[in-house]
Structure 1
Amino acid sequence: MRVDAGTRKQASILHADLDSFYASVEQRDDPSLRGRPVLVGGGVVVAASYEAKAMGVRSPMAGREARALCPRAVMVHPRFEAYTEASRAVFAIFSDFSPFIEGISVDEAFLDVGGMHAIAGSPVQLAARLRERVRREVGLPITVGVASTKFVAKVASAVGKPDGLLEVPAGGELDFLHPLPVRRLWGVGAKTEQRLAEAGIETVGQIASLGEERLSMLLGRGPGRHLYALSMARDPRRVQTGRRRRSIGAQRALGRRWRSEADIEATLVAIVDGLGRRLRSAQRLVRTVVLRLRFHDFERVTRSRTLSEPTDRTDIVLAVARGLLDEAMPLIRERGCTLIGLSLTNLADHGAVQLALPLDGADHAGDLDLAIDSLRSRFGKGAVTRGVLVGRPHLPESPMLPD
């Protein structure tokens, strides 16, 4: 079958994806964990090794449920500083292979290696050397998919896992995609997969054969057009470099134990403190604050509010976040809370926005933020602590993926 226009003549886009990243770092740093099922987290599984995944463990999953599926699993506490350090080391290696890198998260990226053949070898040769260097220099397994589009490269890396290298040659995209299950397509979740199954559609090839019009009648115009384009390997997007994050965020798993409202609010305060410091360090301003909650039944809710003026002030972000939490508190009282997260989105650069002048002629709250940032930078994060956080147990925090 002919591949639609929009793909390259050469498979020169790499999708590099570290395998079970958090769990692999733990197995690297503790030899006694190698070859054993490892769960990273506590009350909720943040990540699982492939040995645990083989027993049916997935994230996020309640720790008790994961242990029932895999009684031999070893539970380890998250060490996000170690994961960040490993991520930086891997991305430094990426930069040796191409100047065109688009980071997707802490553990995956697209690399455009088109035009490198004359000086460095074919894309597959580059991918093989990249994998070898990450294994040798960072000590982690990584899977690389090689294809003519970002979408097909990402699917190739998923199919090639764990610790593999899979090339989809230009012209062979449809032969590769069409036998795959529909869940391999971006945008196909459990409900869409069920709806397609009820219509007798189980493979990507069946979606392509159904056609865009009939697929749109089944799923709606937007989803139908999107999934049909992917089923035909249409993805004209380029690897984008130098793009600044549109959001920053963090979340904390609270476990299955019932938490008091004071504990939940204190967790939110700690998250806001950290995000405010990151916001000012990056010289960004936030326009929209998004609160994310997960309940004991694993259902999630999202609440958001857009500010009238962009800001980097912790007190303003905290006031908005507390307001969103107050709105959601009736649901928390009824259903419990196992995870709380906050995202700061619609970010703008400091110099790109004209800020309103404070009415009293001085920005004392802003000065306080800067003073606290300076103390924490010089003497450590614990140098200055909010009173509401004193004496409260530390909860593991993980970064949210960038948009």
Structure 2
Amino acid sequence: MSEPALRKIIHLDMDAFYASVEQRDNPELRGRPVAVGGARERGVVAAASYEARQYGVRSAMPSSTALRKCPELVFVPPRFEVYKEVSRQIRAIFAEYTPLIEPVSLDEAYLDVTHNLKDVASATQIARDIRAKILAETHLTASAGISYNKFLAKLASDYRKPNGQFVVRPAQGLAFVEALAVGQFHGVGPVTAAKMNQLGIFTGADLREQPVEFLVQQFGKAGRYYFAIARAQDHRPVVADRLRKSVGSETTFAQDLHGFQDLLAGLRPSIEEVWEYCQRTGILGRTITVKVKYADFQQITRSRSTVGGIASLAVLERLCREIVEALFPLPKGVRLLGVSLSNLSNGTAAAGRQLPLGL
């Protein structure tokens, strides 16, 4: 069986997107540590500027922790409508180069430019041109990773952040992967990385030494994915406008959450991200699931289903609130929360209603 033809994939990722938009629109915030989110005692950081990150401030961190790390931190409330409008501008730029655009979130997307609308042979040059146009039209910076598959392009986009780009060519893929710590791999979270470390797997080179049978035994179906990426292999195409089986978002917290309002605040970024996907794609989901991982790593999920689909952010928030209420009293602290929608359908055909298309 022959290998699939090599693609030219770009992963574009806006730099500190929410915080950068706030600094762009308010000159007084430029050069200062900024957090998008609530400054209240039980607030959570939704995004942090690079100035704030130098102090160790990160997204999903409790606001109180962020303030201890950076007493000069400036909190600003999120303006999601503004972020969506900027995202629309960015997607319009992408569309000038290729119709094969797979959005990941408001601020990142994969582009397949193997055959592009500009007839430019170099994916590196296309990435450079797109980043320059984003800067000219939005006054914001983006980083890019360029490679022959999505896994490597995603890794490469983090390599020269902020406002840079990095290319991993076919002859470099294997060496690039083997030198990285497994915790840097997209798709390997902190818990999985810790388990790999316990098994003596610390780098891509260590991972490549493991038989596929061993990886499947230890990690289930994901073991085959780990086996492939250790060899710099990823045959997933860039797919535009796909209808997913589910859409979800989750957050791991720097400190365990205990109170009802803590959990609601912790869920908020995930709820916003899931709803943004629904708006952008016109998708309705009929089942909402809240995922909870406790401090001892015990994991539970709780779901609610509707007849016609969750057609508003208010309904999504209400269902999440009801699920969280039913969890109390908590048996222990919560280290991770997630929200997902399933039983998806095209909103234009569901119950005669249509979600506003964000993009």
Please give the range of the TM-score, normalised by the shorter of the 2 chains.
0.7 to 0.9
Contact 1:44 1:61 in 2 (8 A): yes
What whole-Å deviation, never above 9, does each CA across 1:325-354 have from its counterpart, x for those lacking one? 4532333xx77999998654222236767x
> CA 1:100–1:206 in 2, change beyond 3 Å: closer, same or farther?
same
Separation in 2, partners of 1:117, 1:313: 36
SS in 2 for 1:180: coil
CA–CA separation in structure 1 for the residues paired with 2:112 and 2:294: 40
* Aligned-pair CA distance for 1:221: 4.2
**Residue 222 of structure 1, CA deviation:** 2.4
Task: Please report the RMSD computed on the Cα atoms of aligned residues, expressed in angstroms.
Answer: 4.4
Q: Is structure 2 residue 84 aligned with structure 1 residue 75? A: no
Query: In the alignment, which residue of structure 2 is the partner of 1:389?
Result: none
Q: Tell me by how many angstroms 1:303 deviates.
A: 1.5
Indicate how the Cα distance of structure 1 residues 321 and 206 shifts in structure 2: closer, same or farther if over 3 A, else same: closer
Instruction: State TM-score, norm by structure 2.
Output: 0.78
Q: What residue in structure 2 maps to residue 386 of structure 1?
A: none
SS at match of 1:160: coil
Q: 1:143 to 1:298 in 2, by over 3 A?
A: farther
Residue type of the partner of 2:234?
Answer: D
- 1:346 maps onto 2:339 in alignment: no
AA paired with 1:31? P
Q: How many residues align?
A: 343
Aligned residue number for residue 228 of structure 1: 227
CA 1:53–1:8: 2 relative to 1, 3 Å: farther
From the superposition, tell whether residues 297 and 136 of structure 1 become closer, same or farther in structure 2 (CA, over 3 Å).
farther
- Partner of 1:86 in structure 2? 86
What amino acid does structure 2 have at the position aligned with 1:194?
A: A
Task: Please point out which of 9, 12, 15 is paired with 1:16.
Answer: 12
More helix by share: 1
Aligned amino acid, residue 342 of structure 2: T
CA shift in 2, pair 1:60/1:52, >3 Å: same
Q: Distance in 1 between matches of 2:191 and 2:295?
A: 21
Corresponding residue for residue 41 of structure 1: 37
Q: Which residue of 2 aligns with 1:95?
A: 95
State the distance in 2 between where 1:281 and 1:14 align.
21
Cα distance in 1 for partners of 2:67, 2:318 equals 39
- Partners of 1:320 and 1:70 in 2: CA distance: 35
- Secondary structure (helix, strand or coil) at the match of 1:120 reads coil
Q: Given that residues 7 and 235 in structure 1 are in contact (C-alpha distance below 8 angstroms), is that contact kept between their aligned partners in structure 2?
A: no
1:280–1:312 contact (8 Å) kept in structure 2: no
How big is the shift at 1:187? 3.1
Distance 1:222 1:40, change over 3 A: same
* Equivalent in the alignment of 1:51: 51
Q: Normalising by structure 1, report the TM-score.
A: 0.70
| Contact preservation (8 Å) 1:40, 1:77 | yes
State the alpha-carbon separation in 1 of the partners of residues 72 and 315 from structure 2: 47
1:3-402 alignment, distance < 5 Å: 6=3, 8-9=5-6, 12-42=8-38, 43-116=43-116, 119-217=119-217, 219-244=218-243, 285-291=284-290, 302-307=301-306, 309-311=307-309, 324-331=323-330, 343-349=340-346
- 8 Å Cα contact 2:155-2:186 kept in structure 1: no
For 2:235, the aligned partner's letter is P
- Aligned AA for 2:327? A
Q: What is the CA–CA distance in structure 2 between the aligned matches of 1:110 and 1:259, rounded to whole Å?
A: 37
Q: Deviations over 1:5-54 (max 9, x none)?
A: 656445x1110011111111111112222222211112211111122222
Q: Distance in 1 between matches of 2:322 and 2:48?
A: 35
Which one-letter code corresponds to 2:238 in the other structure? V
Question: 1:321 and 1:135, CA in 2 relative to 1: closer, same or farther beyond 3 A?
Answer: closer
- Displacement after TM superposition at 1:139 (Å): 1.1
Partner SS for 1:88: helix
Deviation at 1:182, TM superposition (A): 0.5
Map of 2:254 onto structure 1: none
Gaps of 5+ in 2: 251-256
- Counterpart CA distance in 2 for 1:145 and 1:318 is 35
Separation (CA, whole Å) in 1 of partners of 2:21 and 2:182: 31
1:113 Cα deviation from its structure 2 partner: 0.6
Instruction: Out of 316-325 and 240-249, give the one that drifted further.
Output: 316-325
